[in-house]
Amino acid sequence: MKKVLFLLLLISSYSYSQVVTLSVGAIEVDQPVTITLDINNTTDTNCNGFMNPNKVYMHSGIGDNSDAFGFNVIGNWGQDDGVGQMTNQGGGIYTITLTPQAYYGITQPQADAATQLGIVFRNEDGTQELKDDGCADFIFPVGTVSINLTNPTNFPVVINSGDNLSVSATIAFQGSTTVQGSFEVFYNNVSVGTGTCGFPSCSTTIPNITENGIVRFVGSPTSTSDQGEVSFEVFVVTNVTEQALPSGAEDGINYGSDPTKATLVLSAPGKEFIQIAGSFNNYTPGNSDVMKRDPATGKYWLEVTGLTPGQVETYQYWVFDTNPISGSPGLVKTADPYSTLVLSPFDDPFIPSSSFSGLESGGAYEYPAGQEREVTVLQTGQTPYPWQVTNFQKPKKEDLVVYEILVRDFDADRNYQNLIDRIDYFKNLNINAIHLMPVMEYEGNESWGYNT
């Protein structure tokens, strides 16, 4: 019996208006699939076609039902670097063959949870793109057995210690509607419920949950031995220690005289608890990584110890909410809002090495594999910047002559060092103050910095 991954969205045909076709009836994460693109049936509108491209690239990702690109994305938009390039078969036909788990470099837990491939096609410099009707990304399901989880609906699930958790789902097969079948539910790989089901759904209750875990719902239609599976994380609310902030601690990273330590401070009103996940705990935070709460200000803080002086570390905050607003997640993973350096899986590929080196594979600032969302860089034992002018006197307010600069537009290389090298240019204009537009991470690095 071959295990087949679950999906929530099924399509009746594996062809999109004969523009994109697959070599298989259903994509399986560990099996090869050939994706064929026929540009003869496309038009030259903004996102529905090409105008005689020299090359065609597939910019694609794999993820779950919340985000088809969520686990990993392959392709560097606008770069003619061969990553995701399709083979020109002639006559407007382009193909690429891949095995999803290997091609996207995802972990086994991600492979088990993968349900969708997301695809956008482009020409070599990204000036032309091809999407599905309505400028939507092409989305392909992964697997043949569909498990549609109907309860819970917000993920990950955050509960109080000792709570029961109701789990229900429906089973579909090869594009059919709900079918009868059997199911088994596991918590941390221990069976906690079995049964048969059909209409309206399969249901069970996991009692008295006291530790974090993974719920797996495995279902099989009556007509086949193939299985589908859905899994999700459960986090148990941890008691938060109430303790005053260390004297002088501010929001963000606080470095002290001991280069093996750093104190992190975060404002997150209304949230139950926060964990720090980072390279220093292999992104598997435990109870010792739960932030303390200052009773006077409500700020969360934690001293991270055992760091190697001068070593580049990364981290993010895992912010939990047991009663999120409808449609909002129970867990938000976020970089530190006071970061001085953020690594982003979405935006870093746009940054050339001439502007910032070390982002390439194996570099000092490589994004941590297997994670999601942005992470903050932490590095103790850094050498303070040697200020060359120690007695700087700023001009009087009435004497200011300000030059507002967006570095992206001012300098062809989009490089701060080039701006520094042109200080004499500003002096010749009698400029005595430079106003930098927001120095922020923003989507695609093609903004003025306000949509942080």
Predicted confidence (pLDDT) per residue in 73-102, tens digit: 999 998 999 999 999 999 899 999 999 999
What is the structure's pLDDT at 96?
A: 97
What is the structure's pLDDT at 145?
A: 81
Question: Using an 8 Å Cβ cutoff, are 186 and 227 in contact?
Answer: no
Which residue ranges form the domains of the chain, and what is each CATH number?
15-143 (2.60.40.1930), 146-236 (2.60.40.10), 252-378 (2.60.40.10), 397-445 (no CATH)
Bin 418: left if φ > 0, else alpha if -120 < ψ < 50, else beta.
alpha
CA distance 275 to 285: 6
What is the structure's pLDDT at 103?
A: 96
Spell out, as residue ranges, where the chain has pLDDT lower than 70.
1-18, 43-46, 48, 174-177, 199, 441-447, 449-452
Instruction: Tell me the CB-side half-sphere exposure of residue 45, using CA atoms within 13 A.
Output: 10
**CB burial readout 302-331, b (16+ within 10 A) else e:** bebeebeeeebbbbbbbbbbeeeeeeebbb
Question: Using an 8 Å Cβ cutoff, are 209 and 165 in contact?
Answer: yes
CA distance 43 to 21: 18
Question: Using an 8 Å Cβ cutoff, are 77 and 350 in contact?
Answer: yes
Residue 100, φ and ψ in degrees, nearest 5: -50, -45
Q: Prior bond to 152 cis, omega within 30? A: yes
Nearest to 79 by CA among 395, 353, 441: 353
Q: Tokens 């239609």, residue?
A: 221
What is the structure's pLDDT at 45?
A: 58
How does strand 93-98 pair with strand 33-38? antiparallel
Nearest to 174 by CA among 1, 32, 24, 16: 24
SS3 274: strand
Q: How far is CA 210 from the centre of its chain?
A: 28
Question: Using an 8 Å Cβ cutoff, are 61 and 74 in contact?
Answer: yes
Nearest to 117 by CA among 174, 65, 158, 177: 65
Burial class (CB in 10 A: 0-12, 13-18, 19+), 450: exposed
SS3 356: coil
Burial class (CB in 10 A: 0-12, 13-18, 19+), 44: exposed
Helix (H) or strand (E) holding 218: strand 213-221
One DSSP character per residue, 53-77 reads -S--EEEEEEEETTEEEEEEEE--T
Rg of the chain taking only CA atoms, in angstroms: 26
Dihedral (CA of 450, 420, 376, 113) sign: positive
Nearest to 34 by CA among 44, 26, 24: 24
pTM for the whole thing?
Answer: 0.63
Query: pLDDT (tens digit, 9 = 90+) per residue, 267-321?
Result: 999 888 999 999 999 998 988 999 999 999 999 999 999 999 999 999 999 999 8
What is the structure's pLDDT at 442?
A: 65
CA distance 60 to 82: 14
SS3 280: helix
What is the structure's pLDDT at 452?
A: 56
Question: Using an 8 Å Cβ cutoff, are 255 and 380 in contact?
Answer: yes
